[in-house]
Every structure is written in structure tokens, then in C-alpha cells.
Amino acid sequence: MKKQTYSGNIVDVVKNEIYSGTLVVSGGKITEIIRDKKKYKTYLIPGFIDSHIHTESSMLPPSEFARVAVSHGTVAVMADPHEIANVLGMKGMKYMMDDAKGVPFHFFFSAPSCVPATTFETSGASLGVAEIEELCKNPEIKFLGEMMNFSGVIHGDSLVMEKIALAKRYGKLVDGHSPGLRGPDLKKYVGAGISTDHEAFQKDEALEKLSLGMKIQIREGSAVKNYEELIPIADEHYENCMLCSDDKHPDDLVKSHINELVVRSVKKGIDVMKVLRMASVNPIMHYGLPVGLLGLGDGADFIEVSDLKKFSVLKTVIGGVVVAKNGKSALKKKPAKLVNNFHATAKKVSDFAVPSFEGEMKVIEATDGSLITKKILATPKIEKGNIISDTKNDVLKMAVVNRYKNEKPAVAFIKNFGLKKGAIASSVAHDSHNIVAVGTTDQEICDAVNLIIKNKGGVCAVQKGKTSEVLPLPIAGLMSDDRFDIVAKKYTKIDKLAKTFGSKLHAPFMTLSFMALLVIPEIKLSDKGLFDGTTFQFTNVSEK
């Protein structure tokens, strides 16, 4: 069997030492480590791991996601296929696992715990107890995906508890999702066996969760950014922290991944061994992953970097295969198969009309970089007996359209999107992935929605009579079958167009996708209507 050698300053994070030497690799494993006293300029370090991500949010299938990620030194991801499962159920799960096969990259998939996420929206499929058990029996499934129904856990919902019990029975860990949960309710949640949380958005909240035995996944995604708030806990609690992105859009993914958080953390003065433990060792230890850590007999999963400050990735090796060199992927594109579940037909402008009423109306207040929204009140702008978008006060009309069958759109109003013209729409709308749109006129909202319907999924930006751009997403209405660089280029163009319309949001489409996420308070919109996340009930647009 042919041997390969890799020399440099070897960073053994487990033993907390750095020494010069050579790794001998054969059959995908490190078969010998030769120490020497030579002076090397580069460093060999464990590969980076994203401890919680929905790869569908990159708008790329797993095989294409891997082609980008390896260029940033990522060797593994804890992937929760929650998005495609809500669209296609077990068929979607099979698609993700099949597409990942044969790719020299470590995909560790979950059994999504909340499909559908709630009964207050229309999803394309469901995963019940029988499906969860089937998945848990599969050795490819490493954990039960984020348990978003923390209310169900706290109150002992039989279906929720049975899924958790199944995970335990088959030796799978359970990931958490409990934004803002504190006190006695948090103790009940953790006591049920929930092991992680990536939704903590305040330092004190994260510390409380750590004190109860949870592992904190410090998140920095395209829209939701908790890194700056939470990284101060890492210096003391690094052994129980991991790094994750959760959701990473294609334009951001081509720029960086976990490597960016490593660089930022070291720059903040956190010891490099602590940082690398969070980025590599902790996910491996917590989930029991078969990923190498530069030990004798380990899998040959590592990266060569320029130094321990900038971490420029010179080479990425997975299972003994060089998968990236000098920031460029060495992986070939895998032909993508198409699967979908899209049955909506074209809408009329009148479908988006909201008849006027007396008094104030409830408005969703979005916050850049956060999933949390607030309920505020505003005076409606009325024209010809209907409430319309109020660009002067930045209170715009928003719609969610059922993509699985033909139903009347649900319409409400939202603040802080900042559009002064045009409309944007997407079939990426967590968690059920119906069509979500926001715009300045009913006509443009309708045009944007119909462009998504015409393409059976995608993201688009539309200005009546002037311009329209669309990125088709023919794989479940979530992912493209094109090359990652083309997808990133098209997405960047549409993102810039939305910003020329007036949006000041860092990632307007990512933020838009979360405005239908009912499990995150305070107020959201589903295809069935305006939803109050604090009472878990539907509510009216009118304040009266």
C-alpha cells in the first residue's frame, strides 16, 4: 500500500503540545509519527468541524457543499437535514445521504426531531415515531436533531418524549434548541437528556446552560450571529463549547467557514489550543466521531496551515486524500439528481389584498442578525379601501404562500426590511419552506411569488417594469444543481439587487427565511396566518 508523508509543526491538541515531525499515512490512517528537530514554516492541525449546520441553507446538495467547505479546512459537519425532511420526509433524508456517499468528506447526519416543526403551518411531510426509529437504527444517523419543541419536552408531550426515548435506546445523543429558556423549565429540558444548545443569545443564558451540563455551540451564520456575545465564555469554558454556523448562505460559504471563527478567536487572545479544541476536538469527543486528531492510528483528517494566527489553509486531507490545495477544492462535481414537492399555481394580485379596518395593526419587527422578532403596533396606510405597504415608515406587506397545494396567501406586515421599491421572495422559509415574500406593492409581491412558482423553487428580486433576477432551486425548492461558484455568483447578484431596493439587512434573504419560523418568538407568519409565538396561537393583524 502506497505511503504518503506530511511534514511540519504537528499540533497535538489532545496532548496540548506542538512538535516538529512527519506524519506517515497509509490506507487513510496515520501509521507512523516521526519526531525530528527540523524547523518548519507550516503547521499540521486537526481539521475543522461545524458542530451544527443545515447544509441545505448553502443552497447546495451535500456533495457540492463539501467541495466548498474543504477549501476552508472543514473536514466534517454535524448535518441536520431538517429542511429537506420538512419538504420530502424520508425521501429527502435518503436523497441527502445518497448524495453524500462516495465524497471524501465526513457528513454526520441527524434524525430530524420536529417534522413538521408545528401543527400551525403546512409542511410537505412528517417524520413520526416509526420513521424516527427507522432512522435511529441506521448507523449513518449519529444523533437526534435539534429538539425545537422545548415546550413539548417541558410538559412531557408523549410524542416528543417517545422520540427522545428512541434516541437513547439506540445510543444517539439529542441536540437542543431552546432560545432564551431559563430556570426550572430549562432544568426540565436538560433533564430529559438534551445535550447541546446553539440558540443561546445571551452570555448569562449560555452560562446557566453550561452549569446544567449542556454543551454550548457558539453560532455565527449568515443571518444569526451570536459569536461576539458568547465568545467571552470560551476562555474559561472552552472544554464544553463548540463552533457552528447553523445556516450559511452560498455567498458567505465561498468566503469562509469555521476557519473564520478560529482566526477571530485567536485574535481576541484566546489560547490557540483552546480554540482548536472547540473547533475540532470537542465535537469529536461529544458525538464520538470517527474523525482523526493527529494521533497514531487515527484517520488522516487534518489541514496544513500557514501559521497559528491567520490559518491560511494550504492543504486539506481527509481519509488520506488531499481534497484541497491553497484554498482551492480538488473535489470534482458530482451530478445532482432532482427531487421536489411543489404544487402551487400562479396567484393573482387581488390574493394579496388586505381590507382596511379601524385602529392599529400588529406588525412583525425584524432584527438584523437575530431570529427573535418583536410585536409592535402601527397605523395602517390605506389606499382604495385596502392596507398597503408604507415605505415611508418601513412597514411593508409580507406574504407566505402554501407551496404544497393551492391556498389563499397569508398576509401580514413587517418592519425593518427597508425596501423602497420592488419585492423579494424565496421558497427557503424555515421550517416548512412555503413561499415567503416581502415588497412595496401588491403587484410586485405577486410577481415575485409567481416567479418562484414558475421555477418550482428559488430566490428572486423583482421590480415592476425594470428588472428581475432569480436563482432557481430545483432540488426540493432548497438547493441548486449548479456549481457552487455559479450559485454563489447568482445569489450575490440577487442579494445586491435587494439592497439596491433599499434593504440595509446584512442578509435580507436569510432574514426573510426566518420570518416564517414559528418556534422562535415573538411573532411570525405561517401559510395559515399571523402567529403569536408567546401564546402559541394564531392572532389577527388588527389590534382590535
Mean pLDDT, range 216-230, rounded to an integer: 92
The mean pLDDT of the chain is: 95
Length of the chain counted residue by residue: 544
Domains of the chain in start order, with CATH, are 48-289 (3.20.20.140), 349-538 (no CATH)
Angstrom distance (rounded) from CA 291 to CA 350: 55
Q: Which residue, 392, 504, 389, is CA-closest to 444? A: 389
Tell me, what's the pLDDT at 371?
82
**Between β-strands 141-147 and 29-35, what pairing exists: parallel, antiparallel or unpaired?**
unpaired
**Dihedral of alpha carbons 521, 439, 251, 115, sign:** positive
Mean pLDDT, range 46-72, rounded to an integer: 97
Q: In 10 A of CB 367, how many CB atoms? A: 14
**Is the overall model pTM greater than 0.95, yes or no?**
no
- pLDDT higher than 70, residue 1: no
- pLDDT higher than 80, residue 222: yes
* Least confident residue range of 41-55, 415-429, 510-524: 510-524
pLDDT tens column, 360-400? 999 999 998 788 899 999 999 999 999 999 999 999 999 99
Q: Look up residue 131 and give its three cell numbers.
A: 420513521
**H/E segment holding residue 283:** helix 282-287
Q: Look up residue 55 and give its three cell numbers.
A: 447544509
**Torsional class of 413: left (φ above 0), alpha (ψ -120 to 50), beta (otherwise):** beta
Angstrom distance (rounded) from CA 207 to CA 57: 29
- pLDDT higher than 80, residue 205: yes
